[in-house]
Amino acid sequence: MLRQSSWFPLAWLREQCYCDAHRLSGHRATVLWQADRNGELVWMDYDEVLGSRQARAQWLQALADYGIAFLRGVPCQDGQVLEVARLIGYVRETNYGKVFDVRSVANPNNLAYSDLRLGLHIDNPYRDPVPGLQIHHCVQASDEGDDSLFADGFALAKNLNVRGPEAFEILSRVPVPFVFRDDSAQLRAERCLLELSASGELAAIHYNDRSIAPFCLPPEELSHSTGRIVPLPCCYALPSLHFRSNSKMVTWLRLTIGGCCMAARGLPRQASAGCKGAM
């Protein structure tokens, strides 16, 4: 019988250790923030981030830590938001093209094209794959414009898990359909509102009450038949009620002309009117 031996450096074996203590030792915990901590959110000058690798690293670290980061002084030129995106990676083109213009038009096919106020939401849950990062660049502001509503989705999810663990369990286990249709595209995807990683940790949030489609689920998920399970439609309504009843967890910020906001998937938000967005 053929016998073979393999030799590995001890340092390499230590690096591949998969015990929790070692796996998490180099992991930097995300910061869960509420309204009283919005002063910690990072705003940096675009020229500084553009010209300094250290400043760019600081800005990206803030994005990783808080799920959101801001820039000031970004030139208000067509396509400039793509230049901001290139500081990080490539832009995924969608049915809207590489840039989505948030503006008010007649007969809008998307509420972002209207002047209606939008509540907290995550964009494009009907898209597969969903955008990982989104950048909003304010190039023109209406005199009648308003502040934008921001919240840390992970902080809200954690709070929801404390107040309604059964609802959290259902929302992280049962996928729901999201749909978008217009004259040129029809998009559909099914995913859990609360997406967990392979290790069971919260990885992303897919909350958009404007693109949710009718449920198609087993009866036991839609009723109180077990006497213990909270029905899914009620669970889906819970985040909206939860957001509204937790004013301390949401904050209003104004994105002025030349301002730029980058947000990660775990962050529900309302984009300011007059912005250009890249995904």
Confidence of residue 232 (pLDDT cuts 50, 70, 90): low
* pTM as predicted: 0.78
CA quadruple 183, 175, 18, 158: dihedral positive or negative? positive
- Does residue 27 lie in a domain region? no
Rounded distance between C-alpha atoms, residue 57 and residue 72, angstroms? 16
Helix or strand holding residue 57 (H, E): helix 53-66
pLDDT score at 272: 36
Asked if 96 contacts 86 with a C-beta cutoff of 8 angstroms, the reply is no
Confidence of residue 241 (pLDDT cuts 50, 70, 90): low
pLDDT score at 162: 87
Who wins on pLDDT, 236 or 127?
A: 127
- Does residue 22 lie in a domain region? no
Tally of structural domains, the chain: 1
- Does residue 56 lie in a domain region? yes
Q: Considering only 111-120, 207-216, 228-237, which range has the smallest mean pLDDT?
A: 228-237
Task: Give the helix ranges, DSSP H, for 89-231.
Answer: 153-163, 165-171, 219-222
- Does residue 51 lie in a domain region? yes
* pLDDT more than 90, % of the chain: 24
Q: Is the pLDDT of residue 226 over 50?
A: no
Confidence of residue 273 (pLDDT cuts 50, 70, 90): very low
Q: Is the pLDDT of residue 86 over 80?
A: yes
Q: Is the pLDDT of residue 271 over 50?
A: no
- Does residue 242 lie in a domain region? yes
Order of strands across the sheet with 68-72? 43-45, 68-72, 260-264, 133-138, 275-278, 100-101
pLDDT score at 215: 75
Amino acid letter, residue 154? F
Q: Range of 220's domain?
A: 38-278
pLDDT score at 94: 87
User: Which long-range CB contacts under 8 A does 126-130 form with residues at least 24 apart?
Assistant: 126/178, 126/179, 126/180, 126/187, 126/188, 126/189, 126/211, 127/94, 127/180, 127/187, 127/189, 128/187, 128/189, 130/189, 130/191, 130/204, 130/206, 130/265
- Does residue 30 lie in a domain region? no
- CATH number of the domain at 142, please: 3.60.130.10
- Does residue 155 lie in a domain region? yes
Q: What is the pLDDT of residues 134-168, one digit of tens each?
A: 898 988 776 665 678 888 888 888 888 888 888 88
- Does residue 195 lie in a domain region? yes
Could you tell me which residues are beta bridge partners of residue 205?
Answer: 194
Q: Is the pLDDT of residue 205 over 80?
A: yes
Q: Which phi-psi region, left, alpha or beta, contains residue 226 (left: φ > 0; alpha: ψ -120 to 50)?
A: alpha
**Angle subtended at Cα 238 by Cα 153 and Cα 152, rounded to the nearest 5 degrees:** 10
Rounded distance between C-alpha atoms, residue 20 and residue 33, angstroms? 25
Asked if 154 contacts 67 with a C-beta cutoff of 8 angstroms, the reply is yes
